[in-house]
Amino acid sequence: MTATVPVIDLQTASAEDLVNALIAASCVFVVGHGIPTAEREAVVRTGDQFFALPRDEKQKVIWPGDGPWYGWQPVNESGPKADLHERFEVRLAAGQSQLDDAAWATSFPLWPQHPPGFSQAWTRLYASMHSLSSRLTRMIAQGLKLPESDLPAWTLRQHSNLVLNHFHAQTGAPPSGRLRAHAHTDIGGITLLWADDAPGGLEAAIGPEQAWVPVRLRDDAYLLQAGDLVHLWSGGRIPANLHRVVNPPPQATPQARRSLVFFHHPNPETWVAPTDGAAQSGISAAEHILARQRTDYAMTESR
């Protein structure tokens, strides 16, 4: 039997419902989340306009090439994990706890000048996602009976990133061995994902057999995927969701695909350890995130 992704309606679900679904499937569709569709659409629209700019213009906000990811990250052309997409990433400055749009907007160093309205659209959705991810991590802690004192680092003081991925239309066969996104777990706490329904989409390894299951994203939902740090925080009870984005079938009409991802990260200073495990079985959030980012993407060539 093919495993399916559970649906959690935040209007009615309990913390235990959410945790049980995550333990079973490592990812769940979250509906009843209250985030207006227009907020997401504004980010996708301004992101599309940005990706369509000439390379010289995008180059002005390119990721500096080391340290944590932010800004424009072109398609990475080499290495075993070179994925067939470009992305733009907004990263909140360390230690900031107030989501005051004006202050936050000035703390991010790589806002594109074009298109107009970009930073407003992205800060608006970021604030909504920040609240939603705080709510969901509170439910996870409650459902797992984790200490209340852990929570500020995962909620108010979280350090999350908002990303738009642009998977280019594939007009010929993709280079051998390369996917739109290689199989990986996400690095942080939870991921909240939306993608359009273009061919060549998400697959997740779920259920006891860990078989690859195609996941069709829903317009009314964000897909919550458990990341490495929630796996560890849960004492291994919640599995980290393994997923990939496959190439479209050769007969499909070439079509670009966009996905919008909120990578929820706890505060970088957090020491993440299972509550009843030995402290030495834990990890520094900052070190884990940086180590994974270093191995997953090294800037080489781009388009």
Ligand X SMILES: O=C(O)CCC(=O)C(=O)O
Using CB under 6 A, list all residues that contact ligand X: 165, 181, 186, 193, 195, 202, 243, 245, 259, 261
Number of residues located near Fe ion, criterion CB under 5 A: 1
Q: Quick one: which of 133, 165, 190 has its CA closest to 258?
A: 165
User: Minimum CB separation from ligand X for residue 279, in Å?
Assistant: 29
User: Minimum CB separation from ligand X for residue 211, in Å?
Assistant: 18
| The entry of ligand X, Fe ion, none that residue 165 binds, CB within 5 to 8 Å by partner kind | ligand X
Nearer of residues 86 and 186 to ligand X, judged by Cβ: 186
- Tell me if 70 sits within 8 A of 31, measured CB to CB: no
Residue 50 — φ and ψ, nearest 5°?
-65, -50
| 107: helix, strand or coil | helix
Q: Cα–Cα distance between 130 and 128 in angstroms, integer?
A: 5
Nearer of residues 158 and 225 to Fe ion, judged by Cβ: 225
Nearer of residues 30 and 193 to ligand X, judged by Cβ: 193
Name the residue with the smallest CB distance to ligand X: 259
Whether the link from the prior residue into 250 is cis, omega within 30° of 0, is no
Nearer of residues 86 and 186 to Fe ion, judged by Cβ: 186
User: Minimum CB separation from ligand X for residue 181, in Å?
Assistant: 5
- Tell me if 174 sits within 8 A of 85, measured CB to CB: no
| The entry of ligand X, Fe ion, none that residue 245 binds, CB within 5 to 8 Å by partner kind | ligand X
User: Minimum CB separation from ligand X for residue 217, in Å?
Assistant: 7
The full DSSP string for 30-59 is EES----HHHHHHHHHHHHHHHTS-HHHHH
- Tell me if 108 sits within 8 A of 90, measured CB to CB: yes
Nearer of residues 157 and 243 to Fe ion, judged by Cβ: 243
Burial 31-63 (b: 16+ CB within 10 A, else e): eebebeeebbebbbebbeebbebeeeebeebeb
Nearer of residues 22 and 89 to ligand X, judged by Cβ: 89
| The entry of Fe ion, ligand X, none that residue 259 binds, CB within 5 to 8 Å by partner kind | ligand X
Nearer of residues 106 and 295 to ligand X, judged by Cβ: 295
Choosing from 83, 86, 89, 186, the residue that interacts with Fe ion (CB under 5 A) is 186
The β-bridge partners of 184 are 243
User: Minimum CB separation from ligand X for residue 251, in Å?
Assistant: 21
User: Minimum CB separation from ligand X for residue 165, in Å?
Assistant: 5
Q: Is 89 in the site for Fe ion (CB under 5 A)?
A: no
Give the contacts of 181 (CB within 8 A, at least 6 positions apart).
Answer: 83, 84, 85, 165, 167, 243, 244, 245
For binding to Fe ion (CB under 5 A), which residues are involved? 186
